[in-house]
Amino acid sequence: MKNYSGKLQQLLYLIVSLLLVMAISLRRDEKVLGHDLKQQQEEATKTDTMTVLEDGSVQLNTTELGKDIIGYGGTVPLEITLQDGRIKSVKALPNSETPKFFESASVLLSKWDGLTIEEAQQLEVDGVSGATFTSKAIIENVQRGLQYAANNPEKGSIWSDFDLSAKAIAGLIVVLLAAIVPLFVRNKRYRIAQQILNVVVLGFWCGSFLNYTSMVSYMSNGMNVIALIVPVIMLITAFVYPLFGKKSYYCTHVCPLGSLQELAGKCVGYKIKMKPTTIKYLDMFRQILWSVLMLCLWTGIWFDWIDYEPFSAFVFQSASWVVIAIAVVFVALSTVVIRPYCRFVCPTGSLFKCSQYSSPKNKK
């Protein structure tokens, strides 16, 4: 009976945590899982998908066509202008992408200039390293718009969204290993190997991790489970595994930044010894910091702090120097303090802890 009560309490805290993220999504984007709740504004700002201009050129707006195509921070609508059967220009419309990421990916917008619809549909465009999700969203919006222009708007099967690139396959394999193998294997050598894979493949190569930016985006815009299979698996390890007794599983076995800190800690034998009271006060600081930052999100006072979580330093080509500096400081500190960012700062980890909370009487 006690065990049942504890599980129910965990489930309730998980629901509360998801509602917290939903509240942030509503405050920032005014939509949940892709559903815009401001119906009147939507009607007022709704634009036609195809418009014929006075000079005879055709203008395509992918806002509706690509409303299920999600970049890093949200949808990435485009305006495609066709003249005499050729693409005159591709321009970005307002979006919620992180400016640094979008600036890197925006070099793709001129790739289709001068091509016919048929030539553009056959053109294979590679994404920009460091802005993978944004690049993919731009490419898919162009393809969706050209499909519409060619009077062939039907979508392929759901599996057509699956990314078969080497990077995507490698990321899927590594996240599956992280999600499954530690459940059955406890081996120090394997753990080090998995951590290296987490850092190199999930972190630096794929740029896949959970942070407030990604989770708010998923809550606002919904998720294409096939296209975002790696983040889906990460979310399962972060929120579902704890319901079955695997608390902090994502932070311990999957998170690239957590893995990097632990690997850095193995490079130096000396560790600063902290008194239990010091650890207690530092943990209290983490909780207070998280509460303040959440208040900033709910009130809209300071949304931009979510862009300064050090996870995005893995995507160093697009990350700001401030984020990179924060990441470097904590990785350096982790050589003498065990996982300092994870234990005493991480707002994302604090959200996970909130969803996994159980009262002392339910702890074994």
Name the H helices within 185-249: 188-197, 212-221, 229-235, 249
Q: To the nearest whole percent, how much of the chain has pLDDT over 90?
A: 42
User: Are both 167 and 129 inside the same structural domain?
Assistant: no
249 and 146 housed in the same domain: no
Question: One-letter amino acid identity for 127?
Answer: G
Q: Where does the pLDDT of residue 55 fall: very low under 50, low under 70, confident under 90, or very high at 90 and above?
A: confident
Provide mean pLDDT across the span 73-97.
Answer: 87
Q: Are 263 and 121 found together in one domain?
A: no
Beta strands in the chain (DSSP E): 31-32, 35-36, 50-52, 58-61, 78-83, 86-92
Reported as a single tens digit per residue, the pLDDT across 208-262 is 999 998 898 888 888 878 888 999 999 999 999 998 889 899 999 999 999 999 9
Quote the CA–CA distance of 144 and 138 in Å, as a whole number: 10
- Looking at per-residue pLDDT, the higher value among 85 and 92 belongs to 92
Q: Both tokens of residue 145?
A: 């718009």
Q: What is the dihedral of CA 308, 314, 317, 318, to 10 degrees?
A: -30
Mean pLDDT of the chain: 85
Integer Cα distance of 50 and 58 in angstroms: 7
Number of domains in the chain: 2
> Does the structure show a pLDDT above 50 at 146?
yes
Boundaries of domain holding 8: 1-35+160-356
Residue 45 included in any domain: no
72-110 residues labelled b (16+ CB within 10 A) or e (exposed): bbbbbbbbbbbeeebbebbebeebbbbebbbebbbebbe
Pair of tokens at residue 250: 């994502």
161-180: pLDDT as tens digits: 677 889 999 999 999 999 99
Is there a domain that residue 218 lies in? yes
Q: Given the structure tokens 């994502």, which residue do they identify?
A: 250
Q: Is the dihedral of CA 313, 318, 323, 326 positive or negative?
A: positive
Q: Do the Cβ atoms of 271 and 218 come closer than 8 Å?
A: no
Residue 320 has pLDDT above 70, yes or no: yes
Q: What is the pLDDT of residue 14?
A: 79
Helix (H) or strand (E) holding 76: none
Round to whole Å and give the CA distance between 209 and 166.
18
13 in the same domain as 105? no
What pLDDT sits at residue 40? 44
Which residue, chain included where needed, has tokens 């690509």? 66
Same-domain check for residues 272 and 179: yes
Q: Which band of pLDDT confidence, cut at 50, 70 and 90, is reported for residue 160? A: low
Judge whether 202 lies within some domain.
yes
Give the mean model confidence (pLDDT) for residues 59-63: 87
- Position with higher pLDDT, 128 vs 39: 128
Query: What CATH number did the domain enclosing 105 receive?
Result: 3.90.1010.10
CA distance 110 to 132: 17
**Residue 116 per-residue DSSP state:** B
Q: Is residue 42 part of a domain?
A: no
Final residue belonging to a domain, choices 151, 180, 202: 151
Average pLDDT over residues 37-42: 52
Residue 46 lies in a domain: no
Answer yes or no: is pLDDT of 46 > 60. Answer: no
Q: Which of 125, 151, 177 is at the close of a domain?
A: 151
Q: Is 319 left (phi over 0), alpha (psi -120 to 50) or beta?
A: beta
In a domain, 43, yes or no: no
d(CA 205, CA 1): 46
273-310 pLDDT, tens digit each: 999 999 999 999 999 999 999 998 888 888 889 889 99
- Most confident range (mean pLDDT) of 52-66, 126-140, 308-322 is 308-322
